[in-house]
Structure 1
Amino acid sequence: MYQVLNCLVTEHDWRLVVLGGAICWLASAVAISLLHRARASQGRTRAIWVGLDAAVGGCGIWATHFVAMLAYDPGAGAGYNIPVTLISLVFAVAISAVGLGIASLNERRWTVAMGGAVVGLGVAAMHYTGMMALELPARIVWSPGIVLASVVFGSVFAAMALVVAVRRDDRSHTLAATGLLTVAIVSHHFTAMGAVTLVPDPTLVIDELTIAPAALSFLIAVAAFAILGISLVAAMLDRRSSSELHQQKVLLDSAIGNMSQGLCMFDAEGRILLFNERYSEMMDRTGMPLQGRMLIDVLQDQKSNGKWDGDPDEFFNMVVAAAKAGETLTRVVTRNGRSIRVVDQPKKGGGWVATFEDITEWQQAQERISHMARHDALTNLPNRTLFREQLEKALRLAKRSDQLAVFCLDLDHFKEINDTLGHPVGDALLKEVARRLGECVTEHDTVARLGGDEFAVVQFCSDCDPSAVSLLASHIVEQIGEPYDIGGHQLVVGVSIGISLAPEDGKNPDELLKNADLALYRAKADGRGTYRYFETGMDARAQARRILELDLRAALQRHEFEVYYQPIRDVASDEVVAFEALVRWNHSLRGLISPVNFIPLAEETGLIVQLGDWVLRQACMDATGWPDNVDVAVNLSPVQFKNPNLVSSVKAALRASGLPAHRLELEITESVLLQNSAATLAVLHELRGFGVRISLDDFGTGYSSLSYLRSFPFDKIKIDRSFVNELTTRDDSMAIVRAVTSLGKSLGIVTTAEGVETEAQFELLRREGCTQAQGYLFSQPRPAAEVNTMLSRPRARIVA
């Protein structure tokens, strides 16, 4: 130890020693920084960083040695052999590369320490090779013990430096590792110099291929500072860029990890590059190694565990082929009872990104809406659409020996019960009637509610007794006529039934229903509470309808019709935004006739076209006297759509009145879209093309509305009063209204609730985001003369 200290104190120039130390510190700092970059990389990029680290670190160690050698005064003129000097540089770079490569292999501490020890050996190899390049008139005698100590110091401190460096990539650990590596190089050098004893030998001659120490050290110092400075700046910039990328990665990982959807990214070969936990949970792949695995391997593992149906190879090849072709695949799979929609979106450059969305609730909502479109909301019985489908199916399946009967049922005196005891009691009675009807029929029969208190039954029996129809009719009359206990009220209601038989009374649903309806009127005329078969001589009702038809035609000439208006209020602002035009017939002898009694007849006879044109013209004319922000809504019958002059009639009404087209709203029912959907949609598009708004009335009560919402951009959906009536009493009605309003929001369509009668209903509609409302809560339909009064006064507080 004394020999080492004596060499350091008496035989070195401290100014150059400090210079060498500075170079050593800078080289160590760059080496540690580049080591972090190498360990953070993979594959070829890691090899490049290790090579750059070894080159910069080796050059720095080499430069430190020769600057320190300049500080050493051997007491005689000296030079350095150029080839051997260059070999020492090669040793420094090559052995350092091996050590840094070992240290970058994995996270184990002993592997890192071994790599550091190899770097220390590289320092020793460079030092003693560099000493061999020293030429002076003297022989060098080494002290073996001190030489061994120098090698140990270099290796131990270098190993410690790399262990500290990889423990954590932060400022404190980097500074500590830099200091330890500096100590490794400096301690080795000066310990090794202390092992040198020079024995003068005048016979030794300096080779001509030498360079003076001063010149060599100056050039090395300049080059070392330039190389190390540039490398340090590059490492700092890379570190800053890596830090920003790391922050972005943290944000991206956080976003992906908190997605409600599952996400998985694949390369062009089908290897998993990236995924989130939601993906592994939804696809039941938790606990499986996924990162870097081929999708086909994952599918085969699940297949062997009974968690995958189908052929993994076929599915994998299909997905990869679609991605290579740039095609997007969408499918729905079931996992653990949940429905998951999977979308495979191709990536630029190959591969694809798969997203996984749980659509269980959405599907259930769609199924409820679809069910609602084909079933009666109150009784859950098939509605007219499904009833017709079942009747058509029965007619197709019926053989010559089969018996098919159509029953049209109408409850006797139901209106009186509904009017005296209220709608809730009436609705409860209808549900109980529906239940009893279901108990009367077999599984081969169909029971439907056509609307109001009208029901229908299709009886289908094979090789049965002809009396089976009468037996069923008698049984229905008997069961429906039994007393009811509804909300503490003892009620008795009868039923009248009209029956038509196939094929005697008709070969298609329309004929059978029409003839059963004629028979129903006969049953009612015969005292109710009974059933009647259709007979070809049933002309009395037809005659009565003929008289009513003549009166209807005369009423148009005598101007007996009048347009009433019912306000439609905006739910949010509670202001009147429109009036619905409703026709009334003030008969000269019978007085005020309900539209229920003459509108169907007008439709059947075609008079609805002339009547509808008059209502349209009158409504447009009346609306011109209202404020500009108040619109008018006019109902259009399905029959009017068969009239080729409908569009020109609408244009003529607007032109004659001067009403802007955007203030006119035409309401159609779902039945309009059934008769000739292509032609009807063309008419609707033409009407909408010049500014008229189109509203879908009685949404969900009669026919399947969803396909029509997709095929035509309606401006408004009107929620049927049957749903609104039960808002406060039935959760399923609330769910249906919520689904419809959500559907309207999603499609950007206004939703109007009909039949609002209570403040509670209005408040629930407001809460669910319904756009508009109309009903007796605001006003009954009033003549045109009272429109200004309805506009000026606050809405009435009426409970119907």
Structure 2
Amino acid sequence: MIDVALCIATEHDPWLVVLAVFVCGAGAFSIVQLFERAIGTLGLQRLGWAFLSAVAGGATIWCTHFIAMLAYQAKAPVTLDPVLTIGSLIVAVVGSCIGFMVASGRQGGAWPVIGGTIFGLAISAMHFIGMAAYRVDGIVTWNAAYVVAAIGCAAIFGGGAFFALQSDRFGRLRMAAGVVLIVLAIALLHFVAMTAMHIAPVAMSSAPLDGEQVRALAIATALLGLVVIAAGVFAALIDQQTRNDAMAELRQMAMSDGLTGLPNRIAFHAGLVRQIDVAAANGQRVGLCAIDLDRFKEINDLHGHKAGDDVLMVVAERLRRAIRAEDVVARLGGDEFVALIRCDDRSQIVAFADRIDAALRTPIRFGEFDARLGASIGVAVYPDDALQEDVLSNNADLAMYRAKCEGIGAPCYYDGALDEAIRERRELANDLRKAIDENQLEVYYQVQASVADRAVTGYEALLRWTHPQRGMVLPSVFIPVAEENGLILSLGEWVLQRACADAVEWEHPSKVAVNVSALQLAHAELPQVFQRILADTGLPAERLEIELTESAIMANRERALQVLGQIKALGVGVALDDFGTGYSSLETLRAFPFDKIKLDRFFTSELAVSPQATAIVRAVLALGRSLAIPVLAEGIETREQLDVLVREGCDEVQGFLFGRPRPMPLGGIELDDGAPMSDAA
């Protein structure tokens, strides 16, 4: 190394040496920037970046060599062979390209080292071809040991450079390490190889290069090389900026709601965690408002989704104006929003929720219509109502749900005692959804019989649910839960499918009756559901009967009667259930030709002891006969009740006296008529 240092100090122009090292450093930086892109791409992109890296690498090697060679003071006239000089540049570019392709093509293992070694050999090949183009009037001799050392330096530091660029061991310093090692590979190769060369001057050449020409040529070479290197650096910087812009846009898209521009669920959750952390450190409170628009679905149904989107954007803008700069508002999806405030006093949270409520109750004008939305708002406060962000969000949702169910018309604050029942219903809803998906429900059947001859006329399908932990859950509990949580349509379709499939397997052609709720009846596609299930199961339509209450019809009378007409046109029977408890019984009977009237158990339970109940039953039976509609009496549990119905001429009966609901065997359920009351009930 002493000989190398002496060679540099005594046999080279120091300014040109500095210039060569500067060009080498700039080129190494360009190589690293471009090679980083090659590592992170595939296919043609990787090939393109590897080629650009090779161009920068070849220019760096060649310019460094050429300037450093011109810096060498040969003490004899020098000329250059143009063909070999150009050939050396081509060798540098092609060799570098091969090395970069190998180093970037496969991650890990020995490939980066192999590629870097090829790059080092390309440096060596370029140098010695360049020296072959170096024509000096003198006798040139070489020290073989220094030649081998020069090639070894290029190969070792080249392999080390690309190992560092693809290794996690160097961490954030890997790019700096790569630059330094590439500079060492190029510079040491050149100066060690120049130390290996000895020139004995002879006769003077007729056209030697003088000192000024050498410096001018070196500067021109440096400028040309720096232009090429700068082009590579700018290409890498432009690509990096493009990637940064794309990542920023993707991050914005990932963290923002596409319609309103508000933070989305992911961003809001992260913001909630930060606000709670700050509040915990400063002894503050965090108020979380869960917001659900009240009549948004009506706008979508009446005016279309475009109007719905316009309303959501107006709502988002109003929420932005209602909060402070440090507060947060986000859209979770659909018509669900949340707002967040961090403050010192609970009264600030109350004022915050009231501002939001007032902003959402102001009518929204779109087109020729005014939309009066309003919102159900639930508020939970950290640390009063919860200490964890997920529990706080859930408690705000519970309070919002209570506000919606009770129609409070003002922000509703979390109350553990009141909202525990809501939590219970939500858990039950989740379990019910799972029960539907996993086929955990059962259908029981209760027999319906003719009063005249005790013959079985049909069976009513009744849904039963045995919860894995809660045991038997009553229909009066889980049916309202299904209606509240949008499960009633899938639940009703499941029961209908199961009942029809079961009835096809019976050894007797009895009818099966299935209950239909108001929400099912409001569904315009219900007749198509009946038609599809009858076709899928093969059950004749005349063996199917639906039962529905007057309240289900009166929820939307015109649509209900239209849907019922379509179902009846399929051949399905329609029975009016719980007759006598509604508020428009006679008008309902006049408006639609029912196939059966089911007299509510409220009247039949007192037949044996109440003359008034008997009189009402007699009147209903007379009404049925006059309209030619059979009447079935529900809730028959005693022989005395049955005797009254026989005497009054009732058509059909149903109740515990004839059998409790139970799974249907293929042979049918036998009547329990005549069994003692203790056994039947």
Range into which the TM-score falls when normalised by the shorter chain: 0.3 to 0.5
Larger radius of gyration: 1
Q: Which has the higher helix share?
A: 2
